[in-house]
Amino acid sequence: MAPKTILVCLTTPDHANTLLKTAVPLARKHGAHLIGLHTIEALVVYPGIAMHIPDTAFASFNESQKQEAEAIKAVFEKHTAIEDFVSEFRLVRAEAQSASARMIESARAADLVIMAHEDPNSDRYDQRHAQTQVIRESGRPVIVVPLDYDGPEIGANILLGWSDTREAARAAHDMLGLADDGAALTVLRVGPPPKTAFQDSNAIDTVEMYARHGLKATLIHRDPKGESIADVLQNVAFETGADLIVTGAFGHSRAYDFVLGATTYALLRDQKLPVLFSK
């Protein structure tokens, strides 16, 4: 099912420009309702701290928030003004909650969420690690776009990282609505190749499912030979000319991810292409 409601989370004017280069073509292609969401940071005063904050400090803080919101809205309107699809800009106050909590609330009614890669140099404190929270908690597929990305439109050539997990199966089907008719699709199984092709029946069934949808699906196996799964995914994406990497997200416990690391975190730390994460 093609996405009909796309939520794009806008944090700064520069990142908004990058995100909308990805989001607008998708909304145009699928006739989707595009929502640009920006959260206004709350000035939190902790009751246990005895200090006086002058009215001028509140006024200056509110003015800076207003100016940033207006700049982001201007970028959104520049990208959507000439389009035929419906678009709306939403300004939401974080109040006592974090920006990610507000993003999660809005995401649950969307078919697809688009976010920028984390940027420690410009993200506000309440925006940090928002990508992780939205992927984990919203229940929606999330495309994370690299900073300053200016690549091809999504949908013509896709790479799916496949494993025998619930999260991978979710990603495999979330991706269907984004693929162009007759799109090229590489289903990648990272690990030692089987002795015979028929030993990997689950991956073969997945490729056949895609063929019934009219996609040009190919199954490949790649032995990592000491590379991380994230590196293998990005290398194969480069080799095949993919415009999107698709993968299941956070298939392990938080403790496992913290101690040993995981593919999701590796991709969120360093990505060269847009990545669709499904949890």
Grade residue 56 by pLDDT with cuts at 50, 70 and 90.
low
In sequence order, the 6+-apart residues with CB closer than 8 A to the CB of 86 are 33, 34
Q: Per the structure, how many domains does the chain have?
A: 2
Is 136 in the same domain as 9? yes
pLDDT at 114: 98
Strands (E), 10-141: 33-40, 87-93, 112-116
Structure tokens belonging to residue 197? 């092709």
Is 123 in the same domain as 12? yes
Q: Are 38 and 98 in contact (CB under 8 A)?
A: no
The pLDDT of 65-91, averaged and rounded, is 94
The conformation of residue 141, written as its DSSP 8-state character, comes to: -
| 152 to 141, 241, 274: CA distances (angstroms) | 20, 10, 10
Grade residue 258 by pLDDT with cuts at 50, 70 and 90.
very low
| 271 to 146, 147, 190, 238: CA distances (angstroms) | 6, 9, 18, 12
Grade residue 55 by pLDDT with cuts at 50, 70 and 90.
low
Is 25 in the same domain as 58? yes
Residue 59 scores a pLDDT above 60? no
Average pLDDT over the chain reads 87
Is 258 in the same domain as 208? yes
Is 184 in the same domain as 134? no
pLDDT at 192: 78
pLDDT at 64: 72
Rounded Cα distance between 233 and 225, Å, is 13
Is 193 in the same domain as 67? no
Is 131 in the same domain as 204? no
Nearest in space to 141 (alpha carbons), one of 188, 176, 181: 176
Find where tokens 């800076």 sit. 64
| Domain boundaries, position 249 | 157-278
Is 205 in the same domain as 122? no
Higher pLDDT, 202 or 64: 202
Is 161 in the same domain as 103? no
Is 121 in the same domain as 163? no
Report the range out of 45-54, 57-66, 83-92, 192-201 with the highest average pLDDT. Answer: 83-92
pLDDT for 114-157, tens place per residue? 999 988 787 777 777 899 999 999 999 999 999 989 999 999 99
Helices (H) and strands (E) in the chain, counts: 9, 10
Which of 145, 167, 199 terminates a domain? The answer is 145
Which of 98, 125, 145 terminates a domain? The answer is 145
Q: What is the CATH number of the domain that holds 44?
A: 3.40.50.620
CB atoms closer than 10 angstroms to residue 179: 25
Q: What is the pTM of this model?
A: 0.89
pLDDT at 220: 92
pLDDT for 13-33, tens place per residue? 989 999 999 999 999 999 999
Confirm whether 150 is domain-assigned. Answer: no
